[in-house]
């Protein structure tokens, strides 16, 4: 779900996406 690559590492882009999702949830 969080991991976007086969190695299972969280990339910088993944962190940015998660942060955006959290901000969106807080805004509602």
Rg of the chain on CA atoms, in Å: 10
Other CB atoms closer than 10 Å to residue 17's CB: what's the count? 13
Question: Which has more pLDDT, 25 or 10?
Answer: 25
pTM of the model: 0.51
* Helix/strand/coil percentages in the chain, nearest 5: 55, 0, 45
- Considering the chain, what is the average pLDDT of its residues? 78
Answer whether residue 16 shows pLDDT above 70: yes
The residues near 4 (Cβ < 8 Å, ≥ 6 apart) are 11, 13, 14
Lowest-confidence pick of 4-8, 9-13, 17-21, 22-26: 4-8
């Amino acid at each position: 779900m969080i991991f976007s690559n086969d190695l299972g590492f969280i990339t910088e882009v993944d962190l940015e996406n998660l942060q955006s999702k959290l901000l969106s949830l807080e805004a509602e």
